[in-house]
Structure 1
């Protein structure tokens, strides 16, 4: 099957890819993990001969042929205060966190468009065949696709969410599609369905009445000459590449212009680790536990009592620990703990001596753990992390810990359960095999669809007609009103006819009685 797929891809390349396309990549978020996903696609497009320009806070350290960086300088400043406060998100309500998320999006959008390098690009005479934009609360940036008269392609690094399903018309019935920020499954109780429905209504109102109008103002300010407004550009996105896969989540409806490419960033072949790190892992007689809270949640900001609970737990283990800790001066660090500001997470999870992964439960970390067959202990803090960890527990390959109740006792108990119960490793191995059973590598699939959109001039035939309807038309409210009005009219006529018939019958009976009395 793999040889056939490779042959098919080569054949497609020979038949269709007769020219190089000019691609503009817009990757505004300062989350390194999000960049890793999107940049993987950009690098692959460049490797295949396309001319790729990428605007991001993370320029490549090693130049790559056909890949041109435009560095964002002030995006980190826009995110700095938010990153330091992320660990406090667990203490806030989901409504407050959701609102702050959207406010951050407004700040990031403005900071991006105020960048000198971005303004210079807009003033240049460059042309592009497609604009690829990460879909993460920066709708005003969609104006760049209209500015350059190029089809817009979105990358949903966050998985399926209203932010990207709205772009192509994918339905999300709240009866069985849980909101990404809520810790529910596809099989919700009545109470959960009520909460899911209410939260979706809240977010819909937030988007339509406040957030999107604010983004539209930014769009109009920076793109005054664009023919189409933000709303029209937003509902005419050519394609959304979705960082999820049905084997890792739940079955749900997707339109033809929304393609699942979850895990396209994962290395299919493990790269070598630094010599000292490889030695630390390989020489551990009892295996290694990998611990990382992701790129945005920095362990150095953990409160003292939480840090002490973690260190005391690790000190009592015979396994070795890799901990993504951003400060090299970690006081009271046990000898069995190896810290680093950044790890080759993908390659570490692929190492056979790594037993399991302690994580915040982010989508990328969860996907990588599943691919490499590593069970997880999750400490969710915000966003979709609760949903992902609920899936892990339901799938039997994860243990969820409450961050607010994290102590040495609860942490140690979870680790001991993971070490002693073989079912976690067995279950994740089954899900990993299910995920890998795909007809095409997700990265190849993503490249194919990008080239498809360009080849077919925006692939307008994939556009969902539902995007052209108003809320009333989409939900057939006008049809229901007509049917209800017609039925009401019929019932009213029947009622009137019945009254007339009854009156006539009474009149006839009365006349008969009078006639009988006369006789």
Structure 2
């Protein structure tokens, strides 16, 4: 009987093994922004752990070797390294100017990436893949890799929904209640906010369609001259788009079936031990710890001297200890209660019970991690979706937003004291954290499932939204409205003309009758 059980178990295992299939994925993380890499690499590592072979092109090497994970290094662009400092210097400029410069940077970044010798060698090789997973960030020409290998394109949106990624699958974005990620509005806009949102959407649409995307299409043709489909067709036929977003962290909005929210898939669900000196610094603080980071892109060392001094003077007067991600080991005037480092294990720090709150630039990864670990935050937004993220935090009651241009020591101190003394922020973030954590499946498992689903079903073409195949006139039913309302208007016009004709004939007939009566 025991032998029979063993035989049956062996057969079952063989049957299960026969149903398992390893796929080959090409992951493209082209940007020099470490936070984007953190999101993408979490997915690629999970796919490798599941037995798939994953080749990743990125400027950030994997720290620990992982089976099935092949790393291809790309050039670490100095332009991206200095761009954060440039943003801090130009915060007084207009939104449109900033967006224009941002897209120009994307064009340069795309060309630099495709000119890489390692990338060229990969394109020229005889390697094969089952799908290309490409970061969606100002590099649409890179989608040509999926056409080059004749495999499905899977987009990875490292922040929320935006025309860059909704255009790929056809998710609608009504400007009446879906605010642009670049504007500090929520889903309940005033009339003038709706006007501003609508105007900005028109500007962005014109910028994309008339200038930016044609430039990307030209780069696509240059580097992928033998591709059968052009960039536009490849772009609007993406098999899947994964978004680093979740409805509890944003606002409800419509998505098509192959645009999936997987926000927070990079977050460690189990806190790792901190370095001994860092753990001791946090544990020995009787009044708790404040964590401060401007992210991997903006960097605190780029802050102007007067703002840096205002921050240090504020920290000097606090009972709490401060962890400040500062990228220069020499920080003049640093108080004893401040611990600086070029890089911190942010996820594990925010999970520490002795950390009171977070001072951040308002980036999506930072705010998501802070909410997951139940820590309120003070935000100093500088660019793009940071304003929107902080607007959500203020509206939700778990964050305080500060204006960078008018930043002073007194305002900064007041915000910190408010956060320390008002426990409503901690209570509210705890409630939002509970909502965010209450998901039927871990976001990383969800992302991996959908990636495998696309390959398993040969590109999952059944998820393709037909709206992607319609012209602007067809999609917005302009032709139908012209026929319907034009036909109705024509019918009304003809009816009026007929009535006037009959009325005229009656008048003419009555006049003739009067004349006849008078002559008789």
SS in 2 for 1:91: coil
Which position in structure 1 is the counterpart of 2:74? 72
Aligned pairs for 1:33-432 (under 5 A) are 33-73=35-75, 75-432=76-433
Coordinate RMSD, CA, aligned: 1.3
- Following TM superposition, the consecutive aligned residue runs of length 4 or more in structure 1 with deviations greater than 2 angstroms are 13-17
Output the CA distance in 1 between the equivalents of 2:16 and 2:445: 15
In the superposition, relative to structure 1, how do residues 124 and 183 fare at CA in structure 2: closer, same or farther (>3 Å)?
A: same
In the superposition, relative to structure 1, how do residues 397 and 220 fare at CA in structure 2: closer, same or farther (>3 Å)?
A: same
SS in 1 for 2:86: helix
1:143-187 deviation line (CA, Å, top 9, x unaligned): 000001110001111211110011000000000000000000100
1:202-250 deviation line (CA, Å, top 9, x unaligned): 0000000000000000000000000000000000000000110001110
1:243-285 deviation line (CA, Å, top 9, x unaligned): 1000111000000000000000000000010000000001100
1:351-410 deviation line (CA, Å, top 9, x unaligned): 000000000000110100000000000000011101100100000000011111111100
Shift of residue 288 of structure 1?
0.1
In the superposition, relative to structure 1, how do residues 392 and 323 fare at CA in structure 2: closer, same or farther (>3 Å)?
A: same
Gaps of 5+ in 2: 1-12
Moved more, 94-103 or 270-279: 94-103
Which position in structure 2 is the counterpart of 1:29? 31
Output the CA distance in 1 between the equivalents of 2:108 and 2:23: 32
Moved more, 485-494 or 148-157: 485-494
8 Å contact kept, 2:33–2:80: no
Shift of residue 89 of structure 1?
3.8
Aligned pairs for 1:443-462 (under 5 A) are 443-462=444-463
Aligned residues: 507
Shift of residue 18 of structure 1?
1.2
8 Å contact kept, 1:164–1:240: yes
In the superposition, relative to structure 1, how do residues 22 and 282 fare at CA in structure 2: closer, same or farther (>3 Å)?
A: same
8 Å contact kept, 1:78–1:107: no
Shift of residue 15 of structure 1?
8.7
In the superposition, relative to structure 1, how do residues 462 and 89 fare at CA in structure 2: closer, same or farther (>3 Å)?
A: farther
Moved more, 373-382 or 491-500: 491-500
Output the CA distance in 1 between the equivalents of 2:276 and 2:90: 37
Alignment of 1:489 with 2:468, yes or no, is no
Output the CA distance in 2 between the equivalents of 1:490 and 1:306: 69
Output the CA distance in 1 between the equivalents of 2:293 and 2:90: 17
Output the CA distance in 2 between the equivalents of 1:16 and 1:177: 46
SS in 2 for 1:505: helix
Gaps of 5+ in 1: 1-10
Shift of residue 82 of structure 1?
1.8
Output the CA distance in 1 between the equivalents of 2:288 and 2:72: 42
8 Å contact kept, 1:287–1:354: yes
SS in 1 for 2:296: coil
8 Å contact kept, 1:89–1:382: no
